[in-house]
Amino acid sequence: MRVPIMFRIGALVLATTGFYTYVGQMVPQKEVQPPKATLLSGDLTSAEMAKVGREIMDTKGLCLTCHTIGKTGALRFPDLAGVAIRAKTRVAGLNDVEYFAQSLYEPTAFVVPGFPPAMPPMNKPPFSLTDQEILCVIAYLQSLGGTSTVTLQTKHHYNSGAAASGAPAPAAAPAPGGTPPPATPPKGSGEQ
Amino acid sequence: MNRKPLVFLVLVAALMTFAGTVGLASLAPGPEAGEPSQAPAATAAQAPPAAGPADQAAAAASQDADKPYQEAEYRAFPVVGSRVAIWVVAQLHLLFAAFVLAVPIFAFIVEAIGYKTGDPRYDRLAHEFTKLLSVSFSLTATFGAALTFMLIILYPKLTNYLMSVFSPTFLPYVLLFFAEAFFLYTYYYGWGKFHPLVHLGLGLGLNVVGTGIMMIANSWLTFMMSPRGVSSKGALLSLTDAIYNYTWMPINVHRAIANVAFGGSIAAAYAAVKFLQAESDEERAHYDWMGYIGNFVAISAFLPLPFAGYWLAKEIYAYSQTLGLTMMGGAFSWLFIIQAILIGNLFLAANYYLWLGMGRVEGAQPFQKFIKYLLMAIVLCFMVWATPRSIIATVSEIRAMGGSAHPILGFLGVMSAKNTAVNILILTTFMSFLLYRRTGKIATVAWANRGNAAQLAIFATVAIFVIFLGVYGYFVEATVRIKLSVPQVLSVLLAMISITAIDVFLFRGAKKTGEVRWGRIPAISQYVLIFIAVTFTWLMGLMGYVRSGLRQHWHVYGIVRDQSVDAFTPTLGFATKVVSATVLAFFLLIGVVFWIASLHDRPDFEPAGARRRRGSGERSPEFPAETAGEAGRTS
């Protein structure tokens, strides 16, 4: 029996689209939900904040889309393993908390040599992390090679209101375990 | 008169009206959507009777009278939801628009070649392409109107915002649409009625206006992806900046090229269908030639497309690294594995068609021995390109590998390897074209050997250079590695241009060793053309999804957030199902377009009685001098 040409063509179109649909089912299936606001109670410990920080980095912050933790070789963005140790001495005059804060609020101020100036400010859209969420991220970063010390009450240059209003920056509260930061972080530094 | 078709049409119309009414009724808000006008029966029975029915009615009427206007942010579409409804309609609109924009480009080029060479085949070919335009134009406009209405109904707040930003562009858009209709119909109906140059001028006008329409529409959609010229709260600061945003020009270029590739593939599929249905050798020869030209246009436009894609990706990264990384390394990274399979299939099919086509040229045997090497290169590149960075594996397998990246194959999943593979793939396909071009010819110029040697040297040098840069990329910092794709792309482009230029002069006045026997090609080649058209269409659907889906939970990235129930990014499996449904709908509709276009060549309708009478030599009682059929043909 001779199959009509239009039937053969229809079967080819169906088989081709069917094959591509099948390929689509073979790749990992992940439904990405829009980020939800993180509810933080004021009495969170530093360790609890670090857990929340890790969650934020995975979801709302999308940090781990670019950064890796514990990878070596030719990387596109800095690996974060042991960053807590490097953060204390990365930029002269900045302690770890101020350094992390600068990296998150003003990431192009200092760029790790060998990497592109590509990180966006995390307190602005499309991420729009709140000051408290950023403190949680800092708590997690401190835990990578060190101990989380920040609390939700910790003040740094960027959550004191001084950076936004242009008023003189108040002295950042010394983070427990961290060296006292300068009153105004030097421009042209900062990391991503 | 045969009433069967009429009865059938009435039944279909009645069914469609019924379905439409039910659909509209389901769109209307149900009682649960609004405030209840009275308490449910159970509640009413428990509550003390505060007032009589008349008072209650009066109170309700007073409440209704004072009800303030509330602007809806979203409205729901039944069954599939608003996002899928908009997605399908927008995609169908874009597919037809791409076709309507592409066909005039190569109809104009083909007509110009016909005018220049005086070969009437080109004019016939251009006219045949244009026949497909008028129905497609109507469908494009219909889907465009449907898209606009659905945006207003389903996403009123977002539509309002986009209108407030782009309102000055709407009137020019409408005016250009009028101009498009004028040029299109005068170009089609004026075929052979004007001086060829005047007709070519109409074709040029059609293309210029069509490109203008596309560029205006592109400004709206690219603004949603990479907004510029507005404050952080969305207030318009500069319309010029909003139009000329980061991704506008790359999308203009990418779409223009992709439209030509897509349009060429659909026209080739049309020719393939006609070839398979052809009953005479002459018809087969014509449609074989038409299919070849359509495919040639499609693949010629397809080869530089990845370069336009690089530019677009570069601008996306320049606008927002996050957006770029979401695309290539985040939620959408696996989509590019599907894309690699599609493009790999396109390259394989295009090369296979060319190799099959060699059979129609006498004296092609010396070139056919190279096919196996070309095939090996293509398959190898395809495999590298489709290798994912991280492998889907069980926990124990991941432990054994020391991570989700395979210790050996993982190295092929990075951009250094993929860029190299795609560039070599392009070079190989280009070589297939070159070999096909040479079949049945021998260069007679004095410098033929040196010319061949120069072409081979360019090809080998560029291939080695591209591979070297690919390997070098593994040993340098990220900032250096990212920039290596530029010399890779440029060297391949340079090779294609310089080898073609040498080839043109090399085969000027070449000796023919055999004729091209159009129509003498296996039928499977025509199915390959249809496969290419379906794959192109599917690829357009997929890439349309990534361009739009990249914004994730933003209507306008970083400015207007998606607060609807559809704010999440669906799985790739779901996305591919929607793409497939759209592609099938498109091919169903394009089948209708082909059918309508074919009506033009059908003989005029004759009533059965007239046919019988004509057969027996009787005269029609209504038309005693001539039959209805004869009258129709002479009118």
pLDDT tens, position by position, B398-431: 666 666 566 676 677 777 888 899 899 889 988 8
Q: By mean pLDDT, which of B235-249, B326-340, B598-612 is the weakest?
A: B598-612
Chain A closest CA to B69's CA: distance in Å? 30
Whether residue B625 has pLDDT greater than 50? no
> How many CB atoms within 10 Å of residue B234?
14
Tell me which chain B residue has its CA closest to the CA of residue A115.
B479
A4 touches chain B (CB under 8 A): no
Q: What's phi and psi for B617, nearest 5 deg? A: 85, 5
pLDDT of res. B38: 38
Whether residue B198 has pLDDT greater than 60? yes
Q: Are A158 and A83 in contact (CB under 8 A)?
A: no
Say which of B329, B553, B571 has its CB closest to residue A34.
B553
Does the pTM of the predicted model rise above 0.95? no
Contacts of A119 in chain B (CB under 8 A): 321
Q: Residues 89-128, chain A: which have Cβ within 8 Å of B?
A: 114-116, 118-120, 124-127
Whether residue B10 has pLDDT greater than 80? no
Q: How far is CA A61 from CA A56, A58, A104, B390, B531, in A?
A: 6, 7, 10, 22, 42
Whether residue B260 has pLDDT greater than 80? yes
Please classify residue B384 by burial: count the beta carbons closer than 10 Å to its beta carbon, then call 0-12 exposed, 13-18 middle and 19+ buried: buried
Q: How many CB pairs under 8 A join A and B?
A: 134
Contacts of B594 in chain A (CB under 8 A): none
Chain B closest CA to A45's CA: distance in Å? 31
Give A37's DSSP letter. P
A24 touches chain B (CB under 8 A): yes
- Choose among B345, B323, B388: nearest CA to A27: B388
Contacts of B580 in chain A (CB under 8 A): 17-18, 20-21
Percent helix, strand, coil in chain B (nearest 5)? 75, 0, 25
Q: How far is CA B174 from CA B144, B145, B157, B177, in A?
A: 12, 12, 22, 5
Say which of A74, A77, A125 has its CB closest to residue B558.
A125
Give bridge partners of residue B561 from the DSSP assignment: B554
pLDDT digits (tens, 9 = 90+) for B20-42: 544 544 444 433 333 333 333 44
Q: Do A24 and B338 touch (CB under 8 A)?
A: yes
- Interatomic CA distance for residues B475 and A62, integer angstroms: 27
Chain B closest CA to A114's CA: distance in Å? 6
Percent helix, strand, coil in chain A (nearest 5)? 40, 0, 60
pLDDT of res. B572: 93
Torsion angle of the four alpha carbons B148, B149, B153, B156, in this order, in degrees rounded to the nearest 10:
30
Question: Mean pLDDT, to the nearest integer, of B441-451?
Answer: 88
Chain A closest CA to B146's CA: distance in Å? 25
pLDDT digits (tens, 9 = 90+) for B171-180: 999 999 999 9
Higher pLDDT, A94 or B386: A94
A37 touches chain B (CB under 8 A): no
Checking phi first, is residue B445 left (phi over 0); if not, alpha (psi -120 to 50) or beta? beta
